[in-house]
Chains A and B, each alone.
Chain A
Amino acid sequence: MQIVFNGQSLTVSGPCSISELLSVHELLKNTALDQVVMAVNQNFVHKHAYPDYQLKEGDNIEMLGAVVGG
Chain B
Amino acid sequence: MWEIAGKALESRFFIGTAMYDSPQVMQQSIEASLSQVVTVSLRRQMAGNSNNQVFWEFLQDFNQTNSAKNRYLLPNTAGCHSAREAITLAQMARELFKTNWIKLEVIGDDYTLQPDPFELVDAAKELVAQGFEVFPYCTDDLVLCEKLLSVGCKILMPWGAPIGTGKGLINPYALQTLRNRFPDVPLIVDAGIGSPSHAALAMEMGFDGVLLNTAVAKAQDSIVMAKAFKLAIEAGRLAFEAGKMQAQNRANASTPVVGMPFWHAVDS
Contact = CB atoms under 8 A, between A and B. Distances in A.
Contacts of B45: 6, 31, 35-36, 63-65
A64 B43 contact: yes
Interface string A27-46: 11111000111110011101
Contacts of A66: 40-42, 52, 55-56, 59, 96-97
A14 interface: no
A70 B38 CA distance: 8
Contacts of A46: 95
Interface of B: 16-20, 26, 39-48, 52-53, 55-56, 59, 75-76, 78, 84-85, 88-89, 91-93, 95-97, 163, 191, 212-214
Given A66-B59, A70-B17, A31 B52 contact: yes
A27 B47 contact: yes
B56 A69 contact: no
Interface residues of A, number: 27
Given A37-B93, A42-B85, A68-B20, 4 more contacts: A26-B47, A30-B47, A69-B17, A70-B18
Contact of B41 (A35, A37, A68): A68
A26 B19 CA distance: 30
A30 B53 contact: yes
Contacts of B46: 6
Contact of A35 (B16, B18, B56, B84): B56
B40 A67 contact: yes
Contacts of A43: 88
B247 to A, nearest CB: 34
Given A37-B42, A46-B95, A68 B55 contact: yes
A46 B17 CA distance: 26
A70 to B, nearest CB: 3
